[in-house]
Structure 1
């Protein structure tokens, strides 16, 4: 991304700066107030720290990532709920328009004695008369089973049941895994915040550099306007040639076009900053941090990095003055290549590096913990599962729907005095023990998959360490090289400024040529372009270095 943005801003012409910079110093004044989530349309004073704080609170990608945190917390609640009492209430009504029949062997009752009750006997009993029932002997002839329908056409029931998990090995492990999963979601959010801090920092400082470059171009135009005016007046007085005026006019035209392009690209860098912050594009901003406050002492930075000083070569190893010529060029080249590949990282610095400063390493550790819990959970599938259960309800029946919903209890009587209850209660309590015996080796293969996943993550630690080591060495080397280039371009800029100043004085005094002035001005602008490009590279390299060492997020939180 850095390369693409730099090409975008440098493609319009020499001297234009890329809209992606980085901060050498990421702190902001403590007295600056934090931005709110909503800002009124207008010019908004904005420090780097305020830009970072606003982005962390309002960037849409971060908001989406935080929804993952909420999902993780909800997942923890879901797993925990499995261990709480489970209460269910159910009710149903059925119209048995065709009752199911069952075969009943009435022949088993043949040869036995029974009591007959005729309709006349019932009428006499209802009339208050005494009725003597007679015993009869049932025929002994065999009788085939007869179809008999039980129940009535309309039936219904309602019940409430409660179950409580008493023991489940997988549930206990699941609770631990849910908490670890929540930690993983938090670390993923932190990773996203680090990316946002990096993007906002680069965009903010690139805007500062582009603005500084634009101001310098404006001063160049003003200086050239003055020189053009003076040359034109000298031409009118007959002491200069028209060609001298035309050359300066061409130079001014090119510089004005370059200034216009730089102005548009500065606006583009501001738009990029707003995008990285999640700020509406119609919101005007005014960057209040200065570019000079972002640049730290290069010598102190080299000392901390373990790199040699550009002027003297005296780094942490105390090499002393840089020799005028190496005694053995081939040996010196091999040493330089080895130093570059190692990133000039001494043994003490390597030993002091803490991998846990990198959120990627911490995230992988959390994933490893999850994989271990998943393996334990698969193994816990062989443990018994014990639940306590209880239920209570009512069931009823009737010949018609109205009869069913009459809800007659045990004290209900028909007109003839007979009980006509149609709803009856029931209840039960008990224990439910579930013991897995054989599942077709399904759990065996699940355990194998979980173990392989755990081993894969363990292999990933070594790969991640190597990757972090490479990023550490690469960022160190890139930053040291960028500092060297910046020192060189700064020296070149000072020389070019002095040459341009002397050339202008000589031209005014009549002892220099117009071509010498134009050449010196062109060299000066080229030196300015190279200097700001080098400054951009240092800023980006510093942010990349802070990210590689895990310090970027902590600096933004200060």
Structure 2
């Protein structure tokens, strides 16, 4: 039992859907329609992925394996009963050498009759004759076979653990190991939620950009038609028509590329969900709702500020050093740094236990402590109750062996001819470890070193979480700033393109000015949608860094 527990402990140690707008009730899983596309929101897509992603199904099988290990550990403390039977044909019986002389004494060589014995006998008296012995004959060792050709036995055995110092530790470790497997499953679910969310947003952005490109192509076709008609009327040059046609061809190529990228993003979403590629899907969430939610984030994070270096205005300005006193340098006057690298409000409110990695490491530390206790209790004695009962028999022939004659069986002559004999025993088995060549000592030393390693791992994980928290927050704030900037640029570029078109149609603007304005508009549109995607991805990363991604999915 201890070996099984040790392997389980060492194996263990060697180891949410986010709604885009606001919190909402869990959506039902979308059913695969018999025909047509499958409609799904982001929450439904995540729930489908959590329920059907092949990698998650494999992780849950590992969780069930951990539960089975718990049952295996518990079973070792229950009564153990077994039945055994054996039949053997000893076609060549093994012989053993015996000293036959040990079983023989001096040889009787006759009796001695004296005249006194004769006279006493003649007088009618009893006479006791004394035997005479000769020297014992020396015999060589004799080969003798024990047993008969056919033999069999059957028995039932019982054992019950009465005391084992490591058994109770094993029960506790088994439950902790099961808890660890559940947390590993949760970690896998968080990864799936992150991947599906990003793929869903990528598809929304790609489809929105594709729709916008279609409108741009339609607008440029209209402009090209009007310019061509103007050229035919003699009020425009052929060069103007050719330039617009080049723009239209480039835009059509860009539209085809965007269409393929959209198809690729849909294929990626299906893969992240575990959905067959042949199943068409229809996304029900709108990109506009996601953008509104992204804009509301600024109320929580605050806007970027040069004085704070970040978003939260409550942090105050960046502290400045007082002027150095005479004879003192600025370096001497610098305050001692005591910040951990996180913003002040993060140090006060952030809970490391919100991160599943931290909770998993705590469970691994608990397993390490149980492993140490298990090693130490290996020096305790082990006591078990044992019992056995069975029968054994032998005969010269197989037919005679299966006659199963008991103690009251007799042959035709009235002689006992029993061939099967019963046996039974009950007792206590005590095992007291005395000296194992210091093996346990080094096992305990390894377990303690493992504990210290995990303690250092906690500090490394804290620093990593602090860095991820700071990075995700800065990335999200920057993405929001870029989105605001690109939104303004898009509005300006659209206005410039509108005015340039009016001027060109009125004959007071050049064709080059119009094409440049259209190019700037498409670039602003591309940058705007890229900024939207960056905000959505940064929001997912932020929720994952703070440990809220999984809780929001519930």
CA distance in 1, matches of 2:155, 2:68: 30
Match of 1:520 in 2: 517
Is the CA contact 1:155–1:404 (under 8 Å) kept in the aligned structure 2?
Answer: yes
* Alpha-carbon distance in structure 1 between the residues aligned to 2:155 and 2:181: 41
Q: Verify: 1:64 aligned to 2:61, yes or no.
A: no
Deviations 1:391-438 (A, max 9, x none): 000011112222222111122111111010000111111110110111
CA drift at 1:111: 7.1
Equivalent-residue separation in structure 2 for 1:386 and 1:168 (angstroms):
7
Assess, with a 3 A threshold, how the Cα gap between structure 1 residues 313 and 407 changes in structure 2: closer, same or farther: closer
- In structure 2, the partner of 1:484 is 481
SS in 2 for 1:381: helix
Structure 1 CA distance for aligned equivalents of residues 496 and 233 of structure 2? 27
Q: CA deviation at 1:98?
A: 2.2
1:73 aligns with 2:67: yes
Once residues 182 and 550 of structure 1 are traced to their aligned partners in structure 2, the CA distance between those partners, rounded to angstroms, is: 22
Indicate how the Cα distance of structure 1 residues 144 and 452 shifts in structure 2: closer, same or farther if over 3 A, else same. farther
CA distance, structure 2, for counterparts of residue 52 and residue 285 of structure 1: 14
1:246-294 residue CA offsets vs partner (Å, 9 max, x unmatched): 1111111111111111011101100000000000000000111000111
Q: 2:542 aligns with which of 525, 541, 545?
A: 545
1:105-143 Cα shifts (integer Å, max 9, x gaps): 665674799xxxxxxxxxxxxxxxxxxxxxx98967435
1:415 to 408, 412, 416: 412
Q: TM-score, normalised by structure 1?
A: 0.83
Tell me whether 1:536 sits opposite 2:537 in the alignment: no
Partner residue, 2:171: 175
Instruction: Note if 1:209 corresponds to 2:202.
Output: no
How far 1:227 sits from its partner (Å)?
Answer: 0.9
Matched residue SS, 2:297: helix
Correspondence 1:95 to 2:89? yes
1:152 aligns with 2:163: no
In structure 1, C-alpha distance between the alignment counterparts of 2:224 and 2:463, rounded to whole Å? 60
After superposition, the Cα gap between the structure-2 partners of 1:224 and 1:29, relative to the gap in structure 1 and judged at 3 Å, is farther
Query: What is the Cα deviation at residue 184 of structure 1?
Result: 0.6
- Specify the SS of the correspondent of 2:388: strand
Which of 436, 458, 466 does residue 463 from structure 2 map onto? 466
Number of residue-to-residue matches in the alignment? 493
8 Å CA contact retained: 1:46, 1:288: yes
2:505 corresponds in structure 1 to: 508
> What is aligned with 1:232?
228
Give 1:537 deviation, angstroms: 1.2
Per the TM alignment, residue 104 of structure 1 is displaced from its structure 2 partner at its CA by 5.8
Matched, 1:395 2:389: no
CA shift, 1:28, in A, is 7.7
Residues 76-155 of structure 1 aligned to structure 2 (within 5 Å): 76-96=70-90, 97-101=92-96, 103=98, 110=105, 141-142=135-136, 144=138, 147=142, 148-155=144-151
Q: What does the per-residue CA deviation read over 1:273-320, in whole Å, with 9 as the maximum and x for residues that have no partner? A: 00000000000001110001112455642342244379x999542699
Instruction: Summarize deviations over 1:326-351 as a string: whole Å, max 9, x none.
Output: xxxxxxxxxxxxxxxx9995312321
User: Partners of 2:216 and 2:187 in 1: how far apart?
Assistant: 44
CA distance in 2, matches of 1:529, 1:138: 130
SS at match of 1:25: coil
Match of residue 261, structure 1, among 257, 264, 268: 257
1:482-508 residue CA offsets vs partner (Å, 9 max, x unmatched): 111111111111000000001111111
SS of 2:550's partner is helix
Q: Name the CA distance, whole Å, in 1 between partners of 2:179 and 2:103.
A: 72
How far the C-alpha of 1:204 sits from its partner, in A, is 0.4
Question: Does the 8 Å CA contact 2:231/2:238 hold for their aligned counterparts?
Answer: yes
Cα 1:318–1:179 change in 2 (3 A) is closer
Structure 1: where are the runs of 5+ without partners? 1-21, 114-135, 322-341
SS in structure 2 at match of 1:34: coil
By how many angstroms is 1:539 displaced? Answer: 1.2
1: CA distance, partners of 2:446 / 2:26: 55
Note if contact 2:28-2:44 (Cα within 8 Å) is conserved in structure 1: yes
Tell me if the contact between 2:294 and 2:536 (Cα under 8 Å) persists in the aligned partners.
no
Please give the per-residue CA displacement for 1:15-63, whole angstroms capped at 9, x wherever unaligned.
xxxxxxx978266864853125x65453111111111011101111111
1:102: Cα distance to partner?
A: 5.3
TM-score scaled to structure 2, two decimals?
0.83
> Contact conserved, 1:499 with 1:520, CA < 8 A, in 2?
yes
Secondary structure, counterpart of 1:395 in structure 2 = strand
Query: Are 1:452 and 2:446 matched, yes or no?
Result: no
| Counterpart residue number, 2:383 | 386
- 3-state SS in 1 of match to 2:436: coil
Whether contact under 8 Å (2:93, 2:148) holds in the other structure is: no
The answer on 1:287 being equivalent to 2:286 is: no
1:324 match: none
